[in-house]
A = this chain, B = another copy of it.
Amino acid sequence: MTETAPVRDDAAREAHDLYGLTPDLLRAILEALDREDAIRLEALVVPLHAADIADLLEQIAGPQRGLVIEALRPDIDPDVLAHLDEPLLSDVRERLGMGEFSRLVGALDADDAVEVIGGLDDGLREEVLAAVPAADRRAVQEGLGFPDDSAGRLMRRDVVAAPMFWNVGQTIDHLRSATDLPDEFYAVFAVDPGHKPLGMIGLGAILRSGREVGLGTLVDGEPVTVRADTDQEEVSYLFQQYGPSEVAVVDGAGRLLGAIAFDDMVDVMSEESEEDVLRLGGVAGTDLHDTIARTTRKRFLWLLVNLATAVLASVVIGAFEGAIQQIVALAVLMPIVASMGGNAGTQAMTVAVRALATKDLTRANAARVIVKEIVVGLLNGLLLAVVMGVAAWLWFRDPALGGVIALAMVANLLVAGMSGALIPLALDRFKVDPAVAAGVVLTTVTDVVGFFAFLALGAALLL
C-alpha cells in the first residue's frame, strides 16, 4: 500500500486546513470505499467534524453510505444526525436501526432532537421520544408543539436569564453553580419578575466588568425579540439585519420561553437564501438528494405551467401564419426578439425579487425602481436594436426587415424592463411569493409581446 500512504498523510494534514472534507480527503475516502478498506475508512472519517460527516453521507451512494456507517458505528457523533436533511436522514435511520438511532437522538441537545424528531413520521416519533432522557423529554415535546419552521422549533429552552437587579458577581456565582446550562451560550437575558426579557448582556461585557457592577448598567437597549410562532424566515432576517448573538423567544404574554443563538441560525440563513434561488430556477421545495420519482414529479408540474405559457406564445405566432409563409425570415428572426426580452426581463426581475426578499425594495422606492427599469430597458433596447437591426439587414439584405426587428426589440425590452420590476411588486402586494411566480408570468409577457411586436410590424410594413 506504499502508493497510497502519501495521499493519506496529505489528506489527513489537509483536513485541518479550512474545512474538513477537502477534495484530496474525499478522493482518499472514495478509494478506501472502493477497496472496502474499513480500517482506513475509519481513520479518515472519524476525525471529521459532524457537519462534514453529514456532507459525506449525503454525497456518496447508498451502499457506500452503509460502509461509512459501519466504520463509524462504534463511536458515531450524534450531531451528525442534526446535520442530515431528509431523505438522507431516513436512509441513515434504517441503516442504523431504530434502537441505535433513538439512542443517538436521545444524546442530542433538546433543540437538535426537536429538529430531528420533527422530520419523522408520526408513527416513529413516540418510539424515538421514549429514548430521550426524561429531563429533556418535556422540552422536546413542547418544541414539537410549535409549527414547522417557527422560532419555537428552533429555540433552546435552557436560556440563561438573570434578574435585572443582580450584579456581575451574583451572575457569575450562579453560572458556576448552575447545572442546566447549555453547552454554548453567548448572552445572559436580564428579566423582570414576570420573566419578561428587559435586556440582553453579552458575556464579554460580564467578563470585562467587576463583580460589583449591576446588570442594569450593562444592558444596551431592548433585546431582539420574537414570538414562538414567528416564521424562521423573519428570524433569519433579524440576525442578518442586527447581528445579535441571541434572539429572545417569548410567548404571547411576552414571557421568555427560550432563545435562538446565531449558531442555531446559520443553516437556516443559508436555507432561506437557498430557497429563493431554487424558486427562481423553478425547483422550489426540491433537493439534490431527492429521488428520481420525487424530482420528476416536482419539476413536471412546473414544466406544465411553463408549457401553457409557451403554447400561448405559439398561438400568437399562429395568428401570423400568412405573413410567415410569405417572408420566412420572420420565422428565423422572431425567437431573437422574444429571447432578448426574456433575458432583459429576467435581469430586472432578479434584482427586484432579491430586493423584496431583503426588504430593500419597499413603497419608498418602488416607483423610482420601476421608472429606472423602464429607462434601462429602453436604453438597452435601443442599443440592441442598432446591433440586431444592422445584422438582420446584412443577413437578409433587407433594410426594412432590419428596421422591423429594431423596432420590435425596443418595444419588447421596454416592456421587459417594466414587467421585470412590476410583476414581482404586484405579486408581493397580493401575497404571492415573487420568487416562485414572477419568472413564468414575465416569460409569458416577453414572449407574447416579443412575437406579436415583431410579427405584427413585419406584416404591416413588409407585406
| A contact residues vs B (CB 8 Å cutoff) | 16, 18-19, 21, 23, 26-27, 29-30, 49, 51-52, 55-56, 58-61, 172, 175-176, 178, 181-186, 202-204, 206-210, 222, 226, 230, 234, 237-245, 262-263, 266-267, 269-270, 273-274, 276-278, 280-283, 286-288, 292, 295-296, 299-300, 302-304, 306-307, 310-311, 313-314, 317-318, 321, 324-325, 328-329, 331-336, 338-340, 343-344, 346-347, 349-351, 354-355, 358-365, 368-369, 372, 375-376, 379-380, 383-384, 387-388, 391, 443, 447, 451
Contacts and interface: CB of A to CB of B under 8 A. Distances in A.
A369 B324 contact: no
A288 B361 contact: yes
A299 B349 CA distance: 13
A223 to B, nearest CB: 11
A89 to B, nearest CB: 15
Given A19-B359, A262-B262, A262-B263, 9 more contacts: A16-B222, A60-B365, A176-B209, A243-B262, A245-B263, A283-B350, A288-B351, A296-B375, A307-B340
B300 A383 contact: yes
- Which of A206, A234, A295 is most buried by chain B, counting CB atoms within 10 A of its CB? A295
Contacts of A209: 176
28 contacts: A16-B222, A29-B364, A49-B241, A51-B241, A58-B360, A60-B364, A172-B207, A176-B207, A181-B204, A184-B204, A184-B245, A186-B186, A203-B206, A240-B267, A243-B262, A273-B274, A274-B354, A292-B379, A295-B376, A296-B380, A299-B347, A300-B380, A303-B343, A303-B384, A321-B328, A321-B332, A335-B338, A335-B447
A317 B262 CA distance: 55
Number of copies of this chain that the complex holds: 2
A29 B206 CA distance: 37
Contact of A281 (B26, B302, B346, B380): B346
A292 B391 contact: no
A230 B244 CA distance: 25
A68 to B, nearest CB: 11
A96 B437 CA distance: 42
A52 B336 contact: no
Contacts of A278: 350-351, 354
B335 A335 contact: yes
Contacts of A237: 19
A288 B210 CA distance: 47
A240 B269 CA distance: 9
A304 B387 contact: yes
Contacts of A300: 379-380, 383-384
A333 B307 CA distance: 11
Contacts of A184: 202, 204, 245
- Which of A280, A281, A361 is most buried by chain B, counting CB atoms within 10 A of its CB? A281
Contacts of A343: 282, 302-303, 306
Contacts of A27: 363
A380 B300 CA distance: 6
A143 to B, nearest CB: 19
Given A176-B210, A204-B185, A241-B52, A314 B296 contact: no
A209 B173 CA distance: 10
A205 B380 CA distance: 59
B207 A21 contact: no
B317 A331 contact: yes
Contacts of A182: 204
A219 to B, nearest CB: 14
A432 to B, nearest CB: 17
- Which of A23, A60, A241 is most buried by chain B, counting CB atoms within 10 A of its CB? A241
